[in-house]
Amino acid sequence: SQQGEEDPQALSIQEGENATMNCSYKTSINNLQWYRQNSGRGLVHLILIRSNEREKHSGRLRVTLDTSKKSSSLLITASRAADTASYFCATRGGGYQKVTFGTGTKLQVIP
Amino acid sequence: GAVVSQHPSWVICKSGTSVKIECRSLDFQATTMFWYRQFPKQSLMLMATSNEGSKATYEQGVEKDKFLINHASLTLSTLTVTSAHPEDSSFYICSVQGGLLVGNTEAFFGQGTRLTVV
């Protein structure tokens, strides 16, 4: 079953604007990851945030994690047309527990 | 990070035939691999957990006799879609995920296989 839900389901912004996507999950986690998927292609790992971390940055990406609210957000700053893709959060418990994916947000950046 | 190679990247087959998809962990010995399926415009759903040297663990609703998983070595897991039907057309992705021994690591994914059953 789906672990996380993301909102919005779809987001359309102008190039240069910031894009924020939110992810909520249901059970306790070991880490949370964000992935990007271009249409019909494989997954690209963007960033991993551990359960004891609250915020993480990578280039134009900023991820926050609030374990008390069981939620995370992904912020893409100064968006580019090439950022157009679907973005998924994925959560994982401890050990070999499977990674389960959120419902995804489809981002469109208009040039 | 781990490099995961999946083959083929796409396949078209006739209804009723079987298709085998390979997932190789090129630089990481994976006792566990995961198989996901993604229908168009949907998220990835875990199908099964592939365990080296033992039987796979299937998620609820996934037919184990239809989706045969073999994990004969630490670097190779195969998924065979038997007697494929058009409703099996989907994007199949395998994953290698680090466990306790390798720390709190990300999951590494193959490139995916797009299966079209005609």
**Chains A & B: contacts with CB separation below 8 Å:** 61
Q: Decide if A98 and B97 are in contact by the 8 Å CB cutoff.
A: yes
State which residues of chain B have pLDDT below 70: 1-2, 98-106
pLDDT score at B51: 85
pLDDT over threshold 60, residue A1:
no
Sheet strand arrangement including A19-25: A4-7, A19-25, A71-76, A61-66, A55-58
Return the structure tokens found at A43: 């997954």
pLDDT score at A72: 97
- What does the H/E/C string look like for chain B? CCCEEEECCEEEECCCCCEEEEEEECCCCCCEEEEEEECCCCCEEEEEEEECCCCCEECCCCCCCCEEEEEEECCEEEEEECCCCHHHCEEEEEEEECCHHHCCCCEEECCCEEEEEC
Closest-approach residue (CA) in chain B for A51 = B104
3-state secondary structure of A87: strand
The CA-based diameter of chain A, rounded to the nearest angstrom, is 43
Taking only the tens place, the pLDDT of each residue in A18-57 is 999 999 998 888 889 999 999 878 888 899 999 999 999 9
pLDDT score at B100: 46
Share of chain B above pLDDT 90, in %: 62
On whether any CB of chain B is under 8 Å from the CB of A53, the answer is no
- The structure tokens 């239809």 sit at B66
Q: Decide if A95 and B99 are in contact by the 8 Å CB cutoff.
A: yes
